[in-house]
Structure 1
């Protein structure tokens, strides 16, 4: 009987492989962002009465909201989503780190995502729609916090940059594809078809989660099937709770310990900065291009797609971060982003040259963003490992990766709230040029804490470790 229990599951090598687990988390993030994007109003033709994707239709036809109040309710639905994202990020991060496995926390996020989608599909009253969006925000917090922690559990913090780059690219595909995909389905097949497709993708997402075998569960089979003398045999660290040096004394709450690290606080702050910059462009760029160049919503959307396009190079930024560390990447990205954003303020002419100038700058904003975003999130996991080395057992037997990412996601959610409000107010009061100057200056000033507190370069860290090991001999 015991021998049968030790038999590995079917296709366990594939189901526990780095590629399959990272793909599953990438798909979960893609679907989550895709569902978020369905609420954004999108009008391909300003003279057309058809709005894309489906929420204006939902509010007008199903909820009975007057046409002049639709935009206001869309803003409320976005704000409710952000509230759920903000509140859920630290909460789900703490919950995920209370369990040995990520199975139930991540599964709960996917179930919440399915429940919120069904409420938005069948709900008619605006109160139900608001509740559905709040639940979707909670689901996003869970999927991001737990999913990122699962990736770190799988590939390790020292090699996480490339994998986190793939997650960022998945997010970008969702942002770019959501309006077009949902608009196309709605136009061809109707309202119900949009949500049916979304539900099918969420169900497939849940199936992927069911198939995943986490590394910590596959360890016994990996070691059993590997020659002890094989140099490729994985060096799997033991559970800290099993080690003789595990500290069982009471410690402060992990969130308090994490926030006591200037390195983590800086990474969290940079996450907030990037959210402010990106959502500011998302808010004011369509209006600026429409008034300055006479663009339709389609062309304005393509302009913002140039910003998001930079995230497709996130894997390269992740590889670079894995090699040289977060500090040089983030500092370089912040300086470049600040300069490019300030230059965007000069794209105010109506000539073709001015338009091309803005397009190139927007692409530069996206490239600088990927150089900042991925290394910053990689840094959040490295901080946890650093604190754990200095104070073994301070986070308990299961670590604090999810809580670290929960704080980062909380900051990002806060930035998505501040960014639209700040940019909308400043553009109305002082204009496009001064808004870009303020955002660019904000980026450049963020270089100071980044240079002071973000981790050392990889080369120096390895040198320090070699020095320590030599001193112990």
Structure 2
């Protein structure tokens, strides 16, 4: 039996490689974002219309109440996301392996999707959206922690840039994918495609072998005299350091100005991006007479900037988060301020708006990815100062849980605040307020965020373990 346990699984090197694990997490977040972007704005209205026009009127939603219930579905999703982020982060850090927490999130996502597909009562639709919010919290918190476990905090920027890019692809692709499938093949086919993607996501998670589990086979196949051997991550099946009683990890994390700053940046970025998502379509329709398609493309230009997130992450890995985030915040503030001058129907105003929207997207990726990388570096910094303060398995998932909680709060505040600002004071004052908000975020970023990430020795260490 012992001899059988020593046999490594098939294709273990590929299944434990950096590329496969990061791809699996990126695909999980892409599917989650795609579901979010497809179902509520495009598929849920169809459900209400089909039900309300049918003989049974199963949903009980009148046509004039559709918009209100769509807003409720979004709010319920945000509630699940907010409550689940710190909870799943804490749960994931209680276990040595990320397998069960992340698998739980994917199963929740599948259950929520199936409920949305087959439920006819609007109350059950709300429950399904809450479950999907919990699933998002789990997938993001645990998935990002798994990426850090795999590539290490010192090289996290580029990998988190890939995660941000997968989010952008999901946001951009959701309208076209859901619209095309619904128009060509009908309501049920949209959900069939989504369920198939979630199932494939689950299969990828089953295939993953985490680095900490693959180390024993690497050590077995590595020459003891190999100079790279000491650089391999140690096998740690349990605590081997001081385990005196400490404050709850979240309390310890919140005492760090560096982490609080990164979490605040997550909140600010969520407000800015969701504010544009809320008011930009209406502004372009009223000012330039854009159709819904052109209005949607306007916001897609903002999201397009995230496709450069890997370069922002790579730059952050080399020079540190502070110059990246401060530069991004100041650039975004200037760009947002200039957006106030795109309030005339002229061609010049339209061209200026599209250029400025692209600059907003580029600035966003220069801020967002380094800030999220900081959340893992804070954990390592505190752990070095106080070994064992987070328990045997660290606090990466809890750190990202706090960041996701702030992001979820921003996605709730942003649409409400931006809608009120534009309605009461207009487009110009809204963009001015967002510019001030971004500029204020640069101050704590300069004061508290960390410095350079990697040294030459650390870079060689990352290269030495990347292949297994």
Please tell me the TM-score bracket, short chain as reference.
over 0.9
Find the partner of 2:180 among 181, 184, 192. 184
Find the partner of 2:236 among 236, 239, 262. 239
Alpha-carbon distance in 1 for matches of 2:101, 2:402:
17
1:61 corresponding residue in structure 2: 50
Alpha-carbon distance in 2 for matches of 1:66, 1:184:
26
2:93 corresponding residue in structure 1: 97
SS of equivalent to 1:78: helix
CA contact (8 A) 2:160 2:369 kept: yes
- Describe the superposition over 1:428-469 as per-residue Cα deviations: whole angstroms up to 9, x where unpaired: 000000100000110001111111111123479999xxxxxx
1:114 corresponding residue in structure 2: 110
Alpha-carbon distance in 2 for matches of 1:116, 1:135:
5
1:140 corresponding residue in structure 2: 136
SS of equivalent to 1:124: coil
Alpha-carbon distance in 1 for matches of 2:101, 2:360:
35
Find the partner of 2:247 among 247, 252, 275. 252
Find the partner of 2:418 among 398, 414, 423. 423
Find the partner of 1:82 among 64, 78, 93. 78
Find the partner of 1:439 among 416, 420, 434. 434
- Describe the superposition over 1:319-343 as per-residue Cα deviations: whole angstroms up to 9, x where unpaired: 0011011111100100001110111
Find the partner of 1:220 among 216, 222, 247. 216
1:300 corresponding residue in structure 2: 295
2:33 corresponding residue in structure 1: 33
Alpha-carbon distance in 1 for matches of 2:456, 2:16:
30
Asked if residue 336 in structure 1 is aligned to residue 325 in structure 2, the reply is: no
SS of equivalent to 1:350: coil
- Describe the superposition over 1:38-76 as per-residue Cα deviations: whole angstroms up to 9, x where unpaired: 1353xxxxxxxxxxx221111122224221111111000
Alpha-carbon distance in 1 for matches of 2:456, 2:445:
17
Alpha-carbon distance in 1 for matches of 2:238, 2:187:
52
CA contact (8 A) 2:60 2:122 kept: no
- How far apart are 1:238 and its partner, in Å? 5.2
1:260 and 1:68, CA in 2 relative to 1: closer, same or farther beyond 3 A? same
Alpha-carbon distance in 2 for matches of 1:370, 1:19:
21
CA contact (8 A) 1:18 1:155 kept: yes
CA contact (8 A) 2:263 2:403 kept: yes
- How far apart are 1:295 and its partner, in Å? 0.5
- How far apart are 1:154 and its partner, in Å? 0.4
Alpha-carbon distance in 2 for matches of 1:400, 1:242:
14
Alpha-carbon distance in 2 for matches of 1:224, 1:240:
17
- How far apart are 1:231 and its partner, in Å? 4.4
Asked if residue 390 in structure 1 is aligned to residue 385 in structure 2, the reply is: yes
Alpha-carbon distance in 2 for matches of 1:459, 1:399:
21
Unaligned 5+ residue runs, structure 1? Answer: 42-52, 464-473
Asked if residue 352 in structure 1 is aligned to residue 341 in structure 2, the reply is: no
Alpha-carbon distance in 2 for matches of 1:12, 1:346:
57
1:249 and 1:461, CA in 2 relative to 1: closer, same or farther beyond 3 A? farther
1:199 corresponding residue in structure 2: 195
- How far apart are 1:235 and its partner, in Å? 2.4
- How far apart are 1:82 and its partner, in Å? 0.3
| Residues matched between the structures, number | 450
- Describe the superposition over 1:132-158 as per-residue Cα deviations: whole angstroms up to 9, x where unpaired: 000000000000000000000000000
2:164 corresponding residue in structure 1: 168
1:48 corresponding residue in structure 2: none
Unaligned 5+ residue runs, structure 2? Answer: 52-58, 459-468
Alpha-carbon distance in 1 for matches of 2:390, 2:195:
37
Alpha-carbon distance in 2 for matches of 1:180, 1:294:
21
CA contact (8 A) 2:154 2:453 kept: no
Alpha-carbon distance in 1 for matches of 2:49, 2:366:
42
Alpha-carbon distance in 2 for matches of 1:283, 1:242:
48
Find the partner of 1:318 among 313, 321, 329. 313
TM-score by length of 2: 0.94
Structure 1 stretches of 4+ moved >6 Å:
459-463
CA contact (8 A) 1:341 1:439 kept: yes
- Describe the superposition over 1:270-304 as per-residue Cα deviations: whole angstroms up to 9, x where unpaired: 00000000000000000000000000110011000
CA contact (8 A) 1:40 1:179 kept: no
- Describe the superposition over 1:249-287 as per-residue Cα deviations: whole angstroms up to 9, x where unpaired: 100000000001010000000000000000000000000
2:56 corresponding residue in structure 1: none
Alpha-carbon distance in 2 for matches of 1:159, 1:106:
22
- How far apart are 1:230 and its partner, in Å? 3.4
Alpha-carbon distance in 2 for matches of 1:446, 1:213:
39
Alpha-carbon distance in 2 for matches of 1:359, 1:40:
27
Alpha-carbon distance in 2 for matches of 1:90, 1:242:
23
| Structure 1 vs Structure 2 CA RMSD | 1.5
Alpha-carbon distance in 2 for matches of 1:172, 1:154:
22
Alpha-carbon distance in 2 for matches of 1:242, 1:60:
57
- How far apart are 1:390 and its partner, in Å? 0.1
Asked if residue 262 in structure 1 is aligned to residue 251 in structure 2, the reply is: no
CA contact (8 A) 1:241 1:393 kept: no
SS of equivalent to 1:147: helix
